[in-house]
Structure 1
């Protein structure tokens, strides 16, 4: 396989797997601890309003629904996971792909929490790092834990892909 195609296949796969791991973790938290996860339809609503030039909302929950918002939101969620995987594998290089280690993946997962803290939450009306929510520290912690799960997912995906692509 050509190196560029191999890189794209690898990063696409680990992005999908890591994002699915993050979603599995969210499902476990919901079932065992009744901790809700982000409603990706609201992400789709936010993205859907962008075509009309509306990028920042006082409250995305009060914004008009957008046709297909759930699908848009879920596709964006997985697309962002793939983009994060491309960044991660570009930063860690060939050595990590050949011998995945957990700490770079966890640290990268933690770093990705900057996206919701500084882009998604402010744009959807929750403020920077969820400061406008009823309990900002709980919201921050939940975001961080979700993104740490993404990092763990990167690690497990790296191990799986090492076996598959060997």
Structure 2
């Protein structure tokens, strides 16, 4: 398998897995703690207004709806997770996926909180680092913890890839050349 294709496949698997871990964390918070998860439809609405020249909103929930905003938001959520996994693999090398360690995964996961703090939240009307929300400290803590969970998900997904590839070695499903297999 070509190195670029292998890298892309690793980024997709690890990034999608980490994003799923983040989503499962959100569901757990909703069911156990009654905390409302992020509405990715609002992310899609924010992104959907960008081609129309609107990058910042006072309150994204009051902006006109965009066709397929929920699909746009969820797609962007997973593409972003995959992109951060690609960053991890680019910085620490694809060999990181062969011997994943928690440090780089947590660094990337926690560093990724910069994007909602400085781009998404201000653009959607919550202000820099959620300063315009009713409880900014709580919102910030939730964001940091959620992105920490994403980092743990990067690590766990890479470990799972190793296990699955080992179990599928020799089949047409296993990744040829993955970690020497």
TM-score normalised over the length of structure 2: 0.89
Map 1:113-124 to 2 at 5 A: 113-124=113-124
Distance in structure 1 (CA, Å) of the matches to 2:104 and 2:137? 25
Give the root-mean-square deviation of aligned CA atoms. Answer: 1.0
* Residue in 2 that maps onto 1:135: 135
Question: What's the secondary structure of 1:141's corresponding residue?
Answer: helix
* Residue in 2 that maps onto 1:20: 20
Question: What's the secondary structure of 2:93's corresponding residue?
Answer: helix
Query: Could you report, residue by residue, the CA deviation over 1:91-135 in whole angstroms, capped at 9, with x for unpaired residues?
Result: 111341210011211121110000100000000010000001111
Query: Could you report, residue by residue, the CA deviation over 1:22-51 in whole angstroms, capped at 9, with x for unpaired residues?
Result: 101111111111111110000000011112
Map 1:146-165 to 2 at 5 A: 146-163=146-163, 164=165, 165=175
Bigger radius of gyration among the two: 2
Distance in structure 2 (CA, Å) of the matches to 1:121 and 1:92? 29
- Unaligned runs of 5+ residues in structure 2 are 166-174, 176-180
Moved over 6 A (4+): none
User: Is 1:125 equivalent to 2:125 in the alignment?
Assistant: yes
* Residue in 1 that maps onto 2:172: none
Distance in structure 1 (CA, Å) of the matches to 2:157 and 2:13? 8
Question: What's the secondary structure of 2:54's corresponding residue?
Answer: coil
TM-score normalised over the length of structure 1: 0.96
CA distance 1:94–1:68, shift in 2 (3 Å): closer
Q: Is the 8 A contact 2:14 2:85 kept in 1?
A: yes
1:162 Cα deviation from its structure 2 partner: 2.1
